[in-house]
Structure 1
Amino acid sequence: MADHAKPWTESMPDEQFQFIHDILAAPSPIGLEAAMTQGVLRPYMERIAPAGAAVRNFKGHAGVVLDTHPGRDDLFTVMVIGHADKIRMQVRSIGEDGKVWINSDSFLPTTLIGHEVSIFSEDPAAPGSYRRFDGGTVEALGAIHFADPKVRSGDQGVKKEQLYVELQVHGEEKKKQIEDLGIRPGDSILMNRPIRPGFSPDTFYGAYLDNGLGCFVAAESARLVAEAGGPSNIRVLFAAATYEEIGRFGSRVLVSEMRPDAVIGVDVNHDFVAAPGIGDKRMSPVTMGKGFTMSVGAIVSEQLNRRVETVARDNDIPIQRDAVGPDTGTDGMAGVLGNVDCAATSVGMPIRNMHTISESGCTRDVLACTHAVAETLKALDAEETEPGTLAERFRNQHPRLDQATPQRHPG
């Protein structure tokens, strides 16, 4: 029987799943993230914000932050960051035969072929106004009959320079037909694939789980904290950053400007157990369906991790440890990259097929991550019994391995 006090043990309610759908469906390519941040997240944040909170926009990018205590720089401040930008393809050039040549960005070229895409093009006659062109597919070979024998046998792959969007243009002056539409080099291209429930229970699949799911966790943890009365002793910044996929630049700006004392980056993670050809490399045994993940290594604060792990244990929230080596690979690095002294960690959800059109996840992992973040924030708020308590503890309670307890084999 499901434990109704533990939502991560149950199927996600339809309303919550629809919210994930709406976040992931928002066209939010790198540099053009406002559809997600301003169109979906900001209205939601304004609706669930606790009394006195404010939602902030920025000049140079489309990031958004729900600030529980605007102007209270004296409070211990925690930032929870997801990133709203999606990897995208871009138009490179237009061929005489009407082919729209594109780059592959962070996609494997072979994963793109045959999939439907949408081109988002700024109107040359009205800068700042955008149009959407649907009905195109990504191609590279045209047909197996035209492929090199090595490609047909699988001995050779498809090169990124071979990729183009097929818009079915025919007739005379094919290139001019495309140019007359106003499609130009640099226009963004996104997969046209909304998420949908998966075959297995509590699963879903589609494009761009990376990283609308992190933004969902930030927004939903904000709701949970607000419904519990909001933080009284600490300031929390629930953020959707930009530019993560090209170097985590948006989160650097956020932490540099808002100076949090602690950062919790939320991003998707890999299901290493299910990844083809990875199991024998002895990666962390992180897998879909067994809970949220917590990074260990790189710049991660063991003090912050200790609090996350304690909350997970005390609330029976399933948690998986992920060894990340020199870099978390997420916005959890923002404090260091933004040259801000803050404790940082990275949490997330294991998914399969990252950076493809068929990314797959488990709703129970998403709920586990959401509630772990919310409960960690509540615990930090309760720990700040007097102003400065948390800051003092984070400064003076770094783990001392020279004080580690010697252990012997139990025999």
Structure 2
Amino acid sequence: MADTAKPWATAMPDAQFQLMHDILAAPSPIGLEGAMTHGVLKPYFEQIAPDGWTVQTFKGHAGVVLDTHPGRDDLFTVMVIGHADKIRMQVRSIGEDGKIWINSDSFLPTTLIGHEVTLFSEDPDAPGRYRRLDGGTVEALGAIHFADPKLRSGEKGVRKEQLYVELQLHGKDRKKQVEALGIRPGDSILMNRPIRRGFGPDSFYGAYLDNGLGCFVAAESARLVAEAGGAKNIRMLFAAATYEEIGRFGSRVLVSEMRPDAIIGVDVNHDYKAAPGIGDKRMAPISMGDGFTMSVGSIVSEQLNRRIEAVAHEKAIPIQRDVVGADTGTDGMAGVLGNVDCAATSVGMPIRNMHTISESGCTRDVLACTHAVAETLQALDTEESRTGQLAAAFCADHPRLDQAAGLDHRGLGDKDA
């Protein structure tokens, strides 16, 4: 029987899945994230926000922040950050035969071939007005009959310079046919694959889980906090940043602007157990369906991690430790990059096939991450209420390895042979 007291142990309800779908489906390529942030997240924030909470918007980018205590810079402040920007392709040039030559950005070229895309074009005659063109496919070789033997055998790959969008045009002046549509170099192209529930239990798949899922976790953790009575003693900032895919610039701006004391970056992670061809690299045994992930290493605050892990254990929320080395690779780095003194970490969800059209994840991992974030925020709020010294505790209670206790071999107890 399902344990209704543990939402992360059950299937995601249809209404919640639809919200996740709508966030992930919003066309928000780098630099044009408003469809997700202003079109989906901002209205949702306004719907769930108690009186006094406000949505902050910005001039130079489309990021949004739900602020529980606007103007209260005196309060201990925690920012939860997902990023709304999607990797995209861009028009590079238009060929005489009507081919739209493209840049592949952060996609592997071979993962793009044959897939349907949507091209978003700014109207040359009305700057600021955008049109969409559906029905194109990404190609590189044409038919297999035209490929050299090494391509046919798989010994040789596809170069990014070979990629183009096929619009099925024919007749005369095909380049002029494309140009007459107002398509120009720099126009953005996105994969056309909304998420849907998968074959495996509680699974789902589609494009752009990276990182609408982080924005979904930020939004839903805000709802859970609001429903539990709100933020009473600390300030919480639920953020959807921009520009992460080109260097985490958007979160850097948000952090520099709002100067939180703690950051929880939320992003997708890899299912290392299922990743093909990396067994000899001995990666952390992270697996889809086994819970949310928490980064260990890099700039990560062990004090913040300790509080997240304590909450996960208390609530029996499944957690997996991810070893991140020199860089979290996520918006969790924003404090350091933005020159702001804050305790930071990164949490996430293991997915497969990252940066492809068939990214896949488990809704239970998403729910585990969402509830872990919300419960951690409430625990921090309670700690500040109880002690009034949350900021001082983070300043003073850094782990001291010179005080580490000795560890002796303990055998296997009852399992000893």
TM-score range, shorter-chain basis? Answer: over 0.9
SS in 2 for 1:190: strand
Tell me how far apart the structure 2 counterparts of residues 279 and 212 of structure 1 sit (CA, whole Å).
Answer: 29
Tell me how far apart the structure 1 counterparts of residues 93 and 206 of structure 2 sit (CA, whole Å).
Answer: 28
2:414 corresponds to:
none
Report which stretch shifted further, 49-58 or 212-221: 49-58
Tell me how far apart the structure 2 counterparts of residues 241 and 228 of structure 1 sit (CA, whole Å).
Answer: 25
SS in 1 for 2:133: strand
Tell me how far apart the structure 2 counterparts of residues 361 and 386 of structure 1 sit (CA, whole Å).
Answer: 38
Tell me how far apart the structure 1 counterparts of residues 19 and 362 of structure 2 sit (CA, whole Å).
Answer: 15
2:415 corresponds to:
none
TM-score normalised by L of structure 2:
0.98
CA drift of 1:125 comes to 0.1
Q: Within 5 Å, give how 1:155-194 maps onto structure 2.
A: 155-194=155-194
**Structure 2 counterpart of 1:81, one-letter code:** I
Spell out, residue by residue over 1:137-181, the C-alpha distance to the aligned partner (whole angstroms, 9 max, x if none).
000000100001100010000000000000011111000110110
**Structure 2 counterpart of 1:299, one-letter code:** I
**Structure 2 counterpart of 1:37, one-letter code:** T
Spell out, residue by residue over 1:61-116, the C-alpha distance to the aligned partner (whole angstroms, 9 max, x if none).
00000000000000000000000000000000000000000011000000000000
1:43 corresponds to:
43
Tell me how far apart the structure 1 counterparts of residues 410 and 330 of structure 2 sit (CA, whole Å).
Answer: 39
1:264 corresponds to:
264
Report which stretch shifted further, 259-268 or 44-53: 44-53
1:241 corresponds to:
241
CA drift of 1:279 comes to 2.1
Q: Within 5 Å, give how 1:284-303 maps onto structure 2.
A: 284-303=284-303
SS in 2 for 1:385: helix
Spell out, residue by residue over 1:306-352, the C-alpha distance to the aligned partner (whole angstroms, 9 max, x if none).
00000000000000000000000000000000100000000000000
Q: Within 5 Å, give how 1:211-222 maps onto structure 2.
A: 211-222=211-222
2:407 corresponds to:
407
Tell me how far apart the structure 2 counterparts of residues 309 and 190 of structure 1 sit (CA, whole Å).
Answer: 37
Q: Residues 304 and 344 of structure 1 are in contact (CA less than 8 Å); yes or no, is this contact kept in structure 2?
A: yes
**Structure 1 counterpart of 2:104, one-letter code:** S
1:140 corresponds to:
140
**Structure 2 counterpart of 1:78, one-letter code:** V
1:325 corresponds to:
325
Tell me how far apart the structure 2 counterparts of residues 148 and 185 of structure 1 sit (CA, whole Å).
Answer: 30
Spell out, residue by residue over 1:171-225, the C-alpha distance to the aligned partner (whole angstroms, 9 max, x if none).
1100011011000000000000000010011000000000000000000000000
**Structure 1 counterpart of 2:297, one-letter code:** G
Spell out, residue by residue over 1:262-317, the C-alpha distance to the aligned partner (whole angstroms, 9 max, x if none).
00000000000000011221000000000000000000000000000000000000
1:369 corresponds to:
369
Q: Residues 294 and 346 of structure 1 are in contact (CA less than 8 Å); yes or no, is this contact kept in structure 2?
A: yes
**Structure 1 counterpart of 2:208, one-letter code:** Y
- Give unmatched runs, 5+ long, in structure 2: 412-417
Q: Within 5 Å, give how 1:63-78 maps onto structure 2.
A: 63-78=63-78
SS in 1 for 2:385: coil
CA drift of 1:388 comes to 5.1
**Structure 1 counterpart of 2:106, one-letter code:** S
Change over 3 Å in CA distance of 1:133–1:253 after alignment to 2: same
Tell me how far apart the structure 2 counterparts of residues 388 and 97 of structure 1 sit (CA, whole Å).
Answer: 69
Question: 2:371 matched to 1:381?
Answer: no
1:127 corresponds to:
127
CA drift of 1:387 comes to 7.8
1:58 corresponds to:
58
SS in 1 for 2:334: helix
Tell me how far apart the structure 1 counterparts of residues 268 and 332 of structure 2 sit (CA, whole Å).
Answer: 12
Q: Residues 76 and 388 of structure 1 are in contact (CA less than 8 Å); yes or no, is this contact kept in structure 2?
A: no
2:82 corresponds to:
82
Tell me how far apart the structure 1 counterparts of residues 281 and 99 of structure 2 sit (CA, whole Å).
Answer: 41
Q: Within 5 Å, give how 1:223-242 maps onto structure 2.
A: 223-242=223-242
**Structure 2 counterpart of 1:120, one-letter code:** F
SS in 2 for 1:220: helix
Q: Within 5 Å, give how 1:17-32 maps onto structure 2.
A: 17-32=17-32
1:346 corresponds to:
346
1:110 corresponds to:
110
Q: Residues 231 and 381 of structure 1 are in contact (CA less than 8 Å); yes or no, is this contact kept in structure 2?
A: yes
Q: Residues 116 and 192 of structure 1 are in contact (CA less than 8 Å); yes or no, is this contact kept in structure 2?
A: yes
1:210 corresponds to:
210
TM-score normalised by L of structure 1:
0.99
Tell me how far apart the structure 1 counterparts of residues 303 and 221 of structure 2 sit (CA, whole Å).
Answer: 21
CA drift of 1:385 comes to 2.5
**Structure 1 counterpart of 2:309, one-letter code:** E
Q: Residues 271 and 351 of structure 1 are in contact (CA less than 8 Å); yes or no, is this contact kept in structure 2?
A: yes
Q: Residues 75 and 387 of structure 1 are in contact (CA less than 8 Å); yes or no, is this contact kept in structure 2?
A: no
Task: Return structure 1 stretches of 4+ with deviation > 2 angstroms.
Answer: 385-388
Tell me how far apart the structure 1 counterparts of residues 64 and 407 of structure 2 sit (CA, whole Å).
Answer: 48
**Structure 1 counterpart of 2:267, one-letter code:** D
Tell me how far apart the structure 2 counterparts of residues 369 and 146 of structure 1 sit (CA, whole Å).
Answer: 48
- Give unmatched runs, 5+ long, in structure 1: none
Tell me how far apart the structure 2 counterparts of residues 304 and 162 of structure 1 sit (CA, whole Å).
Answer: 46
SS in 2 for 1:399: coil
